[in-house]
């Protein structure tokens, strides 16, 4: 593995792309200070190039090298949560390429906790570099939480497990090296907090995640607010995102069995992702049961969406999770997965 990490670091230093595990989801990384390398990320993802990407740094990295006007609150959050699933939006240093920040005067920065990510960041430019890395999926798709998901996403099927020697071309005609790191522990993307306008707007929660607004408030004494009109843009905050190909819709627990029966009576193929009562419906391989608590649910939801996408159902029904604040990150991702499938049940049931 050490040799794989060293080789991957050389690929990155030469301007190439490396997909690597983080504790949240797998990232598609490139040298954040090399605009041509960052452009390859956008090309591979099919992502609009005005969408900013997060810069990943090694533990103990010099924050002042990457960002300016750093408020005390930022240093407190770094001390409390890094390495870990928290991204801070701060004013960018002048040498950060436009390609990383989408032309904005801010940059997202985080230090991931996964040991492979830390080893890679420590090997890359001797630990002084930064890796621009969005989630390693095509734009708008479900984020990958295993190396296999990444290979599926970019059609890299001939890469050997743990090997980076293959470097096959991905669908955009680019080369992607994949580092193996097991299933991502957290399972949904990092919490994003904007601290770039702290003096005027206070902290703003741009994307909910494993680290909650309350945990942030406990450290800095200010509860992050919901985004306002002028808040920095985040592509994960587009209404439609994290979506499988099969339409997805939410169904309340009480209506689930009945909805499945009605759909099946009309000849529709149904897949279900539940979280509480597995015995309610029996769909064999077309069903996944996730834990009924938010941490375990977040760990499994993206893999479940991918698996249920593969069974080629007409619709994926997701049993509506609880709406309490500890489920905020999960509900945020599900809301974006179902967007675009509005009215799908009515269409089936009116036929
Ligand atoms: O957990 C994560 O954050 C994963 C892993 C790979 O680290 N990365 C990730 O990246 O989710 P991506 O690109 O899929 O989502 C990054 C989000 C986007 O919504 C992007 O718009 C936002 O961060 N973002 C990055 N820089 C920003 C900035 N300067 N201002 C506002 N939003 C920013
Ligand atoms: Mg993403």
When pLDDT is averaged across residues 70-96 and rounded to a whole number, the result is: 97
- Give the pLDDT score at 166: 44
Nearest to 194 by CA among 53, 97, 86: 86
Report, in angstroms and rounded to the nearest whole number, the Rg of the chain calculated over CA atoms: 20
CA distance 75 to 80: 9
Choose between 8 and 284: higher pLDDT.
Answer: 8
When pLDDT is averaged across residues 149-156 and rounded to a whole number, the result is: 90
**Ligand 1 pocket, residue 104 CB under 6 Å:** yes
Tell me the per-residue pLDDT of 212-256, one tens digit each, with 9 for 90 and over: 999 999 999 999 998 877 776 655 556 677 889 999 999 999 999
Q: Which residue has the tokens 């995640």?
A: 209
Residue nearest to atom 20 of ligand 1 (CA): 234
Q: Which tokens is 38 given?
A: 């960052």
- Give the pLDDT score at 351: 67
What proportion of the chain, given as a percentage, has pLDDT over 90? 76
- The CA 200 to ligand 2 mean position distance, Å, reads 28
Taking the CA of residue 133 as reference, the ligand 1 atom at the shortest distance is 6
- Angstrom distances, CA of residue 105 to CA of 46, 89, 198, 233: 23, 10, 14, 11
**Ligand 1 pocket, residue 121 CB under 6 Å:** no
Residue nearest to atom 22 of ligand 1 (CA): 234
Torsion of CA 58, 60, 66, 71, to 10 degrees: 130
> With b meaning 16 or more CB within 10 Å and e meaning fewer, what string describes 162-200?
eebeebeebeeeebbbbbbbebbbbbbbbbbbbbbbbee
Task: Read off φ and ψ for residue 202, nearest 5 degrees.
Answer: 70, -175
**Ligand 1 pocket, residue 274 CB under 6 Å:** no
Report H helices in 60-208.
63-66, 72-81, 98-101, 115-123, 147-154, 198-201
| Beta-bridge partners for 289 | 274
**Ligand 1 pocket, residue 209 CB under 6 Å:** no
Taking the CA of residue 207 as reference, the ligand 1 atom at the shortest distance is 19
Q: Ligand 1: which of 81, 87, 144, 237 to mutate, most ligand atoms within 8 Å of CB?
A: 87
**Ligand 1 pocket, residue 22 CB under 6 Å:** yes
- Angstrom distances, CA of residue 244 to CA of 41, 191, 217: 21, 22, 34
Ligand nearest to the backbone CA of 139: 2
When pLDDT is averaged across residues 75-82 and rounded to a whole number, the result is: 98
- Confidence tier at 167 by pLDDT (50, 70, 90): very low
Report H helices in the chain.
2-13, 35-45, 63-66, 72-81, 98-101, 115-123, 147-154, 198-201, 213-220, 253-265, 294-310, 328-338, 344-349
pLDDT score of 165 more than 50:
no
**Ligand 1 pocket, residue 234 CB under 6 Å:** yes
Tell me the per-residue pLDDT of 284-340, one tens digit each, with 9 for 90 and over: 899 999 999 999 999 999 999 999 999 999 999 999 999 999 999 999 999 999 987
When pLDDT is averaged across residues 146-171 and rounded to a whole number, the result is: 67
- The CA 293 to ligand 2 mean position distance, Å, reads 23
Q: At what angle do helices 294-310 and 328-338 cross, to 10 degrees?
A: 20
Q: What is the pLDDT of the chain when averaged over all its residues?
A: 90
- Confidence tier at 42 by pLDDT (50, 70, 90): very high
**Ligand 1 pocket, residue 106 CB under 6 Å:** yes
Q: Which residue has the tokens 């792309």?
A: 17
CA distance 341 to 351: 17
Q: Ligand 1: which of 91, 189, 205, 211 to mutate, most ligand atoms within 8 Å of CB?
A: 189
When pLDDT is averaged across residues 28-44 and rounded to a whole number, the result is: 95
Q: Ligand 1: which of 86, 234, 241 to mutate, most ligand atoms within 8 Å of CB?
A: 234
CA 58 to chain centre: 19
């Amino acid at each position: 593995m050490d040799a794989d990490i060293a080789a991957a670091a050389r690929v990155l230093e030469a301007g190439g792309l490396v997909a690597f595990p983080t504790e949240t989801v797998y990232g598609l990384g490139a040298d954040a200070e090399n605009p041509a390398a960052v452009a390859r990320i956008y090309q591979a993802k099919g992502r609009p190039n005005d969408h900013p990407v997060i810069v990943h740094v090694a533990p103990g990295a010099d924050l002042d090298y990457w960002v300016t006007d750093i408020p005390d609150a930022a240093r407190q959050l770094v001390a409390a949560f890094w390495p870990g699933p928290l991204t801070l939006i701060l004013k960018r240093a002048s040498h950060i390429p436009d390609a990383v920040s989408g032309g904005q005067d801010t940059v997202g920065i985080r230090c991931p906790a996964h040991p492979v990510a830390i080893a890679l960041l420590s090997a890359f430019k001797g630990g002084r570099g930064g890796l621009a890395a969005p989630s390693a999926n095509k734009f708008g798709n479900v984020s990958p939480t295993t190396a296999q998901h990444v290979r599926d996403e970019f059609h890299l099927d001939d890469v050997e497990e743990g090997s980076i020697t293959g470097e096959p071309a991905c669908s955009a005609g680019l080369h992607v090296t994949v580092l193996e790191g097991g299933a991502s522990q957290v399972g949904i993307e990092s919490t994003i907090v904007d601290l770039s306008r702290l003096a005027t707007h206070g902290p703003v929660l741009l994307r909910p995640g494993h680290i909650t607004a309350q945990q942030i408030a406990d450290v800095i004494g200010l509860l992050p607010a919901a985004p306002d009109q002028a808040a920095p843009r985040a592509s994960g905050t587009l209404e439609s995102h994290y979506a499988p190909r099969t339409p997805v819709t939410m169904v309340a627990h009480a209506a689930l069995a009945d909805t499945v029966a009605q759909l099946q009576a009309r000849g529709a193929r149904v897949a279900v992702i539940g979280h509480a009562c597995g015995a309610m419906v029996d769909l064999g391989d077309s069903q996944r049961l996730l834990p009924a608590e938010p941490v375990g649910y977040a760990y499994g939801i993206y893999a479940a969406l991918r698996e249920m996408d593969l069974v080629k159902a007409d619709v994926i029904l997701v049993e509506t999770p609880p709406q309490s604040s500890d489920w905020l990150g999960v509900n945020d991702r599900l809301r974006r997965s179902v967007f675009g499938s509005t009215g799908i049940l009515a269409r089936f049931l009116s036929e």
